[in-house]
Structure 1
Amino acid sequence: MVNPRLAGRYAKSLIDIAVEKNVLEAIKADVAFLLSAINSSPELKGLLRSPIIKADKKTGVMDAICKGRVNAITEVFCRLLISKSRENALPEILGAFNEQYNVLKGIQQVKITTAQPLSEEVKASLLSKLKADTGFDKVELKTSVKEELIGGFILEYNNNLVDASIQRDLRDIKRQFQNNDYVFNIR
């Protein structure tokens, strides 16, 4: 497990350099690219986490992935992580970068989980309602589908959880019957 403070410090360094060099948006795009590459390739994730594979091999693989696709700052940053034996923390550092970027830009992350995929019209309606109710200016909406919810939704933002799913309602009803809440009131 990677220390979150370590990931946060490296991410802050990358953001500071990107702001100083006026390439923050380019680095943000690089971070998205690298996260996508790592998350879509278990082999790459394994390579980064492996203590057996030598640093020069890891540098060669990362150079091949980054060459011509990312900013020079991002390339140097990846090489720095490998030279410091911190490449195993790259996914966490990239995640921390995204969190710090959102704080810097005032973007609120909102995750909604539904039983069925949301249409663009429903997403737009949900965003406008959320902005009106919470006062958020910028919202980044992430959607996911979990069929076991049956219906309704689960909304997560700023450490808040709104569970308006049918699955939760059924769990609540089951618990009430197991506790015999209604038997007591009948007598």
Structure 2
Amino acid sequence: MQNNLLASVYAKSLVGIAQEQNKLDEVYRDVLYMIDVAKQSREFRNLVSSPVIAADKKWSIIHAVVQGKISELTSRFIQLLIKKDREKNLLQILEAFVGQYNEVMGIHEVKLTTAKELTPEARETFMNKLKEETSFEKIQLQTVVNPDIIGGFILEYHGNLVDASIQRDLKDISKQFKTNLYEHNIR
């Protein structure tokens, strides 16, 4: 079950304690590792969300998977989540942490969808243009290839959507043909 407020509160707590201990970057790497594990392993997600498996058994399995791969601080945080019966929200909490980390570090998450893979030169040109237009200094660019958009691009950041795709243009033209503005309504 999604619980954005709960995820935000726990993520904020982890950010705060990581900052206090000057381990924010270390915990960030741990969080990215944990997100990767959760996204790649359905068994891990099932373990975390299972109401049947006891908390101590969950912790021993998770600890065996991550031992030596994450810091003591992150390990204790996950143990606390299990103790408080919040492990079913683990992935959501970790993703909220990434968002809060980016905010603290001044990193702007941008998603760019194109019809085909960008060349490194085109990617660099796009990043420079985006920095110039938005005054973002640090950008974390996620690229997605979707041939259905035919050409152009779709840009998403901070809840904004810039759809400059051919697919959208064709939909707009189709809509204009369906509602011909130049044909008078005859009654």
Q: Give the structure-2-normalised TM-score.
A: 0.94
CA distance in 2, matches of 1:124, 1:65: 38
1:155 maps to amino acid = L
CA distance in 2, matches of 1:61, 1:52: 14
**Matched positions, count:** 185
CA distance in 1, matches of 2:143, 2:36: 17
Classify the secondary structure of the residue corresponding to 1:108.
strand
Runs of 5+ in structure 1 lacking a partner? none
2:31 maps to amino acid = V
Runs of 5+ in structure 2 lacking a partner? none
Classify the secondary structure of the residue corresponding to 1:110.
strand
CA distance in 1, matches of 2:48, 2:73: 19
Which contiguous aligned blocks of 4+ residues in structure 1 show a shift greater than 2 angstroms? 180-185
1:90 maps to amino acid = L
Please give the per-residue CA displacement for 1:33-56, whole angstroms capped at 9, x wherever unaligned.
Answer: 000000111221122112122212
Quote how far apart the aligned CAs of 1:184 are.
Answer: 4.3
Classify the secondary structure of the residue corresponding to 2:139.
strand
Quote how far apart the aligned CAs of 1:64 are.
Answer: 1.3
- What does residue 170 of structure 2 align with? 170
Quote how far apart the aligned CAs of 1:14 are.
Answer: 0.7
- What does residue 145 of structure 2 align with? 145
- What does residue 106 of structure 2 align with? 106
Q: Is 1:36 aligned to 2:36, yes or no?
A: yes
Quote how far apart the aligned CAs of 1:180 are.
Answer: 2.6
Quote how far apart the aligned CAs of 1:10 are.
Answer: 0.5
RMSD: 1.3
1:46-65 equivalences in 2 (<5 Å): 46-65=46-65
Name the stretch that deviates more: 159-168 or 50-59.
50-59
Classify the secondary structure of the residue corresponding to 2:2.
coil
Quote how far apart the aligned CAs of 1:182 are.
Answer: 4.6
Quote how far apart the aligned CAs of 1:183 are.
Answer: 3.7
CA distance in 2, matches of 1:50, 1:162: 40
- What does residue 94 of structure 1 align with? 94
Flag the 1:123–1:184 CA change in 2: closer, same or farther, 3 A. farther
Query: Identity over aligned residues, as a percent?
Result: 48
1:130-141 equivalences in 2 (<5 Å): 130-141=130-141
